[in-house]
Amino acid sequence: MKKSWIILIVVVILIFVGYSSVKGIYNTMVTGSEAVDAQWAQVENVYQRRADLIPNLVATVKGYAEHEKETLEAVITARSKATSTTIDAGNMNPAALQQFQQAQDGLSSALSRLMVVVERYPDLKANQGFLDLQAQLEGTENRITVERMRFNDQARAYNTNIKQFPNNLFAGMFNFDEKAYFQAVAGAETAPKVEF
């Protein structure tokens, strides 16, 4: 009789230890996944801030440079494409993130072309409203860089956690998939040539 009680107690202890371990692993993966999703929301937030600044910037430039219609339309089209490309943070995969990044890079490129056009208009460059918008846009671009870096840090921590043993066994069982990273733009590793 005593032997069966000892066996029962040992089995109950093993079940409790196993349950506690699995619960701890699962909760850590949930916490990591939620941290990545929250950081993704911050990335979207700063991209939305940039998208919100663009109509004011375009309107200001249009007042000074109406014959630059093609450049202005390119910015508006790129903004439209960038704001319509969205990702569900819970189902983020590398292909969706790459599509999102391409749309945002297209908008960045269109904005760069717009800034080149602005150089031809000294009155516009002296306009305080334009200068304020330009400063806000530059600040937003810096925020985008910071938030993307923080997102990659959160995704790296989460991905490392779900790949470690024994977490990797439970990650597949509980459908915790690897999160995608932001990648550098193609050609970013090559420094631009400056010629005088």
Give the rounded percent of residues in the chain with a pLDDT score beyond 70.
93
Contacts (Cβ under 8 Å, ≥6 apart) of 81: 103, 106, 107
- The count of C-alpha atoms lying within 13 angstroms of the C-alpha of 105, restricted to the half-sphere facing its C-beta, is 13
Instruction: Read off the amino acid at residue 100.
Output: F
Q: What is the CATH number of domain 2-173?
A: 1.20.1440.20
User: What does residue 72 show for φ and ψ, rounded to 5 degrees?
Assistant: -65, -40
Q: Note the pTM of the prediction, 2 decimals.
A: 0.79
Q: Decide: residue 169, CB within 10 A, 0-12 exposed, 13-18 middle, 19+ buried.
A: exposed
Q: How far apart are CA 178 and CA 196, in angstroms?
A: 47
What is the pLDDT at residue 11? 93
Per-domain residue ranges for the chain?
2-173
User: Do 87 and 96 form a contact (C-beta atoms < 8 A)?
Assistant: yes
Q: What is the Cα–Cα distance from 85 to 101, expressed in whole angstroms? A: 9
pLDDT in tens, 150-174: 999 999 999 999 999 999 999 989 9
pLDDT for residue 67: 67
Q: Is the dihedral of CA 138, 143, 145, 148 positive or negative?
A: negative
Q: What is the mean pLDDT of residues 61-66?
A: 77
Residue 188 has pLDDT above 70, yes or no: no
Confidence of residue 185 (pLDDT cuts 50, 70, 90): low
Q: Give me 174's structure tokens.
A: 């509980």
- Amino acid symbol at 181: Y
pLDDT digits (tens, 9 = 90+) for 45-61: 999 999 999 888 888 88
What is the residue type of 191?
A: A
Structure tokens, 180: 């995608």
What pLDDT is recorded for position 145? 92
pLDDT of residue 69 exceeding 80, the answer is no
